[in-house]
Every structure is written in C-alpha cells, then in structure tokens.
Amino acid sequence: MNRRTVIETLRRPPVAFALATLIAAVTWTAFSGTADVAWMLSITVFCISLWILTPIPPAYTGLIGIGLIAVVFSTDLALTGFQKPATWLIGFGLLMGEATRRSGLANWAGTWITARTVSDSARAQPVRTYRRLLIALSIGAHALAFLIPSALVRILIIAPILKETGDLFDDRAARVGLFLGPAFATFYGSAGILTADLPNIMIAGFGDSIAGHHISWTEWWFHMYPVMGLTRVLLVCGVVYYLFRPDPSSSVDLPDGSRDGASSTERRMLAFLLVGAAIWATDFVHGFHPVVGAVAVVALAFLPSVGVTDFESVGETDFSILFFIAAVFAIGDGLAHTGFTEDAADYLLASIPADASLAIVLAVVFGITFLLAFLMEGLAVASVLTPILIPYAEAAGLPMTPVLMAEAMALSSYFFPYQSAVLVVILAEGTADTGEVIRTTVACSVATIVLLLPLQFGVFTLLY
C-alpha cells in the first residue's frame, strides 16, 4: 500500500472519526485525574485530528467542537469565539473581498500589475511569466506589511487580485502558486516587522507593560528584518515555485495592457480600501482594532447610491469558515480556562538548563511556543505564554529582546490551518485545497527552521 493510498484511507469519514475518537479516548485516560483538563484536551485532539485528516469540511468540525464544549462545559465558553473581534474581522473581510471582485477593481489591478511585470518576450513562455509574476506579487504583498498592521487584513485585500491574476493561466498549479506565494510572503515575512502582525504587537506590548522593556520599531527591524523579513520572503517564493509551477506546454492569456485607467466604480472601491488602510496604519494613534477598518470599508462599499454593490450579494458569500475560527478560539480559551496552558508553559520552561547558552535558550523558547501553537491559535499562545516568559527571562538574567523575538518567530511558523486565523482565511478563499495549504505551510516552516533559524540565532549571539 503506497503513501497516497494510506492517506486516502485515513481521510475516509468512518476511519477518520474512529481514529479521532481513539486518540481522544487515550488523551482522556491519560489526564483522567483532572476532569476538566481531560475533557478539554480530549475535545481538542478530537477536533485537531479531524482538521488534519479533513474527512469533513473544517467548518463542520468546528461546529462539532463548539457543540461538544457546550455540552461538557458551558454555552458561554463554547460561543466565546463569536465574541472575538478577529472572528468578525474575517467575516467582514469576506465581504470586502466580494465587493472588491464585484467592483472590477481586482480584475483591473491584476491586469495593471501583469502588464507592467511581464515583458513581450516572456508572454509566450508560461513558466517564465509565472516566475516573474510570483516574485512581483510576493514582493508587493510583503511591502503592504509596512503599511497594514495585520497579515489577516492584508490577505483579505490582496486575495481577489491574486485570484484574478491566477485565472490568466489555464494550469491549476500556476493559479495555486500565484495565490499561495504572495499570501505566504506577506504572512511569513511579517516576523521581521514589529507592526506587521498582531502577535508581534502583543508580545512587544507585554514586554513594555510587564517588564518596562520597550522595543522600538527600528530595533525590531534591525534585529529581525534582514533574515526573518526579506530573506524569508525570498525563501517562500523559492518553496512555492518548487511546489507549484505550470506545465511548459500550458497557456497563459495575458492582457495587452491597453486599459490603463480604472472606471469610476473601481476608483471608488480603491478609495474605500484606502480608508480602511488609513485606519489600520494609524492604529498607534487611535488604538482601534482592525475590525473597525473592515467595518468602515464594508459600510462604504455597500452604501446605497455610493457603494459598488448591494447587500443581495451577501447571500453568495460563504460564511461557514466562521464556525472553524470560532471553534479554534473556544478551544484556546477552554485550555486556558482549565489551567492547562499555564501549567504546560511552566513545565516546559523549567526544562531549560540554567547554564545554557543564549542560542540554546532561544531555541527552547521557540520550541515551547511552537508546541503550544499546536493546541491554541497564535494570538492565544501569545496572550498565555508571554506573561510567563517575561518573568522567567528576568529571573534568569537573559536579554529580553531576543527572547521575545524568538517567541514571535515561532508564531509565524505553523503547520496546519487551524493554528492561525491567517491560514484559515487562505483556506477559506478556496483557491487551494487543504492538502495544498498544509504542504506549503509545512515546507515553508521547515525551511525556515532548518535554514533561517540558525542564522537568526547567530545574529542574536553576535549582538548580545
């Protein structure tokens, strides 16, 4: 029996549910001494098993998880995910994408970028055309990280453009690559910029509020951007190009570039997006959550006589993914509620040798964060682990900056979509299936750990 046959067998619903139930039962038995922890962990591993095997849509597994938490614990805990601003940021982001597509802005932007990226000599060569577009779109998506403080929001903005550009190719591999490449570039490269992702901001905020340790934007950039920013973006491009590229015999239907001007509808949608971007980019002044910017864009885009579409199109938007992200948040809050995550973090931190070198300590901090991220969404890990990590670093006399940055690096290195709301959105767009998203995240994360992490720890060792 070959590997593909084994995977297909495991993904059959009866087999997958039986395996998930078995794993949950073993987990419950192992932690049966503490009932709440045993039940919460059992529900967690049951859902994670189904999310990885995907015998049913991830959103339906989320619905099952919410129901189990409601029965075993309470409806308040089960529905806590629907109270999170990040959940509704995704919901409004889906509406933003729908409005961007319907306005024609996504098609125009894709045409404009393509016409100015691909030369006439490359038009008859699909692989060369694909390579140029992949690099150009990835660098452009990464550049947005300097303006918009949420990787989730950036992907919601660029997703329609990436889809329209990918549709120029008749080869599915090219369409998937042109979507995942820029999306992963703006996500993975965010570790190098303090304001480029919410976990970075949260971790630095905890350092300031708990230990009075302030990390400036330029300090973060100087320490992290050369390796975990720009170099990581180029690494992602290389990984995606290796995994997804068009067949040389395929065709590409490139625009002629004659249409330079956007229509009034397209210009209005661009103006609405710029309003949202302005709100996101100035969050250090007003402190609004990114969901406020998304609400503003949606309100303008659907405003009668002014907007670009109407609310009848809302019915065509698939909101089922909200059950997925709500279940992830509920599980994270449930694990924190039972005290499991704090106990696990304390136990793991106690395993660090007292006389270990800085590189070893940073590697262990990265590993602890990485392991906890298998049980909780990234923001939840940051909120639980950072307040424990800071007193440990102070007591051990460790430099706070690289310790916090090691945690941030781990929170941009995931394997499975349920670990991050950003990956959930990438999957929700429907261009790439679950297997393709997992394969790309694993490849990018492993490449980062093997190639870039030692280099980044070497930089820290030289600086401290």
Residue 255's pLDDT band (boundaries 50, 70, 90)? low
- Which of the pair, 135 or 126, is modelled with greater confidence? 135
Q: How many domains does the structure of the chain reveal? A: 2
Is the pTM above the cut of 0.75? no
CA distances from 368 to 16, 39, 44, 348, 395 (A): 28, 23, 18, 7, 18
Instruction: Please indicate, yes or no, whether residues 137 and 245 belong to a single structural domain of this protein.
Output: yes
355 within some domain: no
Structure confidence at residue 259 (pLDDT): 52
Instruction: Please indicate, yes or no, whether residues 233 and 311 belong to a single structural domain of this protein.
Output: yes
Q: Is residue 137's pLDDT more than 80?
A: yes
55 within some domain: yes
What average pLDDT does the segment 330-342 reach? 80
Instruction: Please indicate, yes or no, whether residues 58 and 100 belong to a single structural domain of this protein.
Output: no
β-bridge mates for residue 169, sequence order: 252
94 within some domain: yes
332 within some domain: no
Q: What is the DSSP string of 186-255?
A: HHHGGGGSGGGSHHHHHHHHHHHHHH-----HHHHHHHHIIIIIIIHHHHHHHHHHHH----TT--B---
What tens digit of pLDDT does each residue of 257-303 get? 555 567 888 889 888 888 887 887 676 678 777 788 888 988 999 98
Give the chain's largest Cα–Cα span.
71
Q: How far apart are CA 294 and CA 196, in angstroms?
A: 17
Of the candidates 262, 285, 316, which is a domain's last residue?
316
Contact 416/441 with Cβ under 8 angstroms?
yes
Instruction: Please indicate, yes or no, whether residues 60 and 126 belong to a single structural domain of this protein.
Output: no
Q: Is residue 224's pLDDT more than 80?
A: yes
458 within some domain: no
Instruction: Please indicate, yes or no, whether residues 37 and 90 belong to a single structural domain of this protein.
Output: no
Contact 128/246 with Cβ under 8 angstroms?
no
State which residues form the domain around 60: 1-78
Structure confidence at residue 450 (pLDDT): 95
306 within some domain: yes
352 within some domain: no
Instruction: Please indicate, yes or no, whether residues 130 and 177 belong to a single structural domain of this protein.
Output: yes
Of the candidates 251, 281, 316, which is a domain's last residue?
316
Of the candidates 41, 61, 78, which is a domain's last residue?
78
307 within some domain: yes
Instruction: Please indicate, yes or no, whether residues 119 and 160 belong to a single structural domain of this protein.
Output: yes
Look up residue 416 and give its two tokens: 């499975």
